[in-house]
């Protein structure tokens, strides 16, 4: 396996946190992994994205231009990264904020009303983990149980209150794409 993933959104939407969950899970599962965050100049409200590479082989470079999977959480991210997804790749779109569809027929695009689903769960800030769950529900490159273990193992005690809500958000994203 060799997956190159970009997760992108506005600062404060949790794109980097979703990438960290993938990264810690991949490390805990024994894969080679890189995680590169990038913040826009405005931080909260600006753009933020991260690149995660998960591979069975050594990773030559942490920089990618053509991801195999991409989660886009807002319209600017859709505009920037949808054209870059490799043919045969997966595009996961937060359809609450991105109101248009990909015109490409060489990728799989799934549309998840993540903000709406997160609001139903009681916290719109969990949209990022719903989208992560949707991605893993469609292509389980890492076990969902592994992401839950990562939440248990890597969230500091002072933030333990977010663990169970994020597990529910992850499950909601998986359930949404699996129907």
Q: Give me the CATH number covering residue 81.
A: 3.40.920.10
Domains: count for the chain = 1
For residue range 118-165, list pLDDT tens digits in order.
999 999 999 999 999 999 999 999 999 999 999 999 999 999 999 999
- pLDDT at 12 exceeding the cut of 90: no
Q: Which structural domain range is residue 16 located in?
A: 2-178
Q: What is the pLDDT of residue 11?
A: 85
- Pick the closest to residue 132 from 2, 24, 1 (CA basis): 24
- pLDDT at 78 exceeding the cut of 70: yes
Q: What is the pLDDT of residue 41?
A: 62
83 Cα distance to chain centroid:
17
Q: What is the pLDDT of residue 43?
A: 53
57, 171 contact by CB (below 8 A): no
Q: What is the pLDDT of residue 32?
A: 97
Task: Enumerate residues 6+ apart whose C-beta is below 8 A from 25.
Answer: 142, 143, 146, 147, 149, 150
Distance in Å from the first CA to the final CA of the chain: 26
Question: What mean pLDDT is reported for the chain?
Answer: 94
Torsion sign, CA atoms 179, 21, 159, 14: negative
Q: What is the pLDDT of residue 36?
A: 94
Residue 129 in tokens: 């983990």
Q: What is the pLDDT of residue 91?
A: 98
pLDDT-based confidence at residue 179 (cuts at 50, 70, 90): confident
- pLDDT at 59 exceeding the cut of 60: yes
- pLDDT at 4 exceeding the cut of 90: yes
For residue range 23-57, list pLDDT tens digits in order.
999 999 999 999 999 876 655 556 799 999 999 99
pLDDT-based confidence at residue 62 (cuts at 50, 70, 90): confident
- Pick the closest to residue 80 from 7, 178, 156, 160 (CA basis): 7
Q: What is the pLDDT of residue 40?
A: 67
For residue 171, the number of C-alpha atoms closer than 13 Å in the C-beta half-sphere is 9
- pLDDT at 22 exceeding the cut of 60: yes
DSSP 168: H
Q: What is the pTM (predicted TM-score) of this model? A: 0.94
Torsion sign, CA atoms 34, 3, 25, 27: negative
134, 177 contact by CB (below 8 A): yes
- Pick the closest to residue 63 from 40, 84, 41 (CA basis): 84
14, 128 contact by CB (below 8 A): yes
Inter-axis angle of helices 15-28 and 144-154, nearest 10: 100
Residue 111 in tokens: 């549309």
């Amino acid at each position: 396996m060799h997956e190159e993933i970009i997760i992108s959104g506005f600062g404060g939407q949790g794109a980097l946190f979703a990438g960290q969950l993938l990264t810690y899970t991949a490390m805990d599962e024994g894969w080679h992994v890189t995680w590169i965050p990038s913040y826009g100049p405005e931080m909260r409200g600006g753009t933020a994205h991260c690149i995660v590479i998960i591979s069975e082989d050594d990773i030559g470079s942490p920089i990618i231009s053509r991801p195999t999977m991409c989660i886009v959480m807002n319209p600017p991210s859709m505009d920037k990264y949808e054209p870059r997804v490799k043919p045969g790749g997966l595009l996961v779109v937060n359809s609450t904020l991105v109101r248009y569809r990909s015109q490409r027929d060489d990728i799989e695009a799934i549309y998840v009303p993540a903000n709406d689903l997160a609001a139903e769960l009681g916290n719109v800030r969990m949209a990022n983990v719903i989208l992560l769950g949707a991605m893993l529900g469609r292509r389980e490159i890492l076990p969902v149980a592994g992401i839950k273990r990562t939440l248990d193992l890597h969230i500091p005690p002072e933030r333990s209150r977010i663990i169970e809500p994020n597990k529910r958000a992850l499950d909601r994203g998986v359930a949404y794409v699996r129907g």
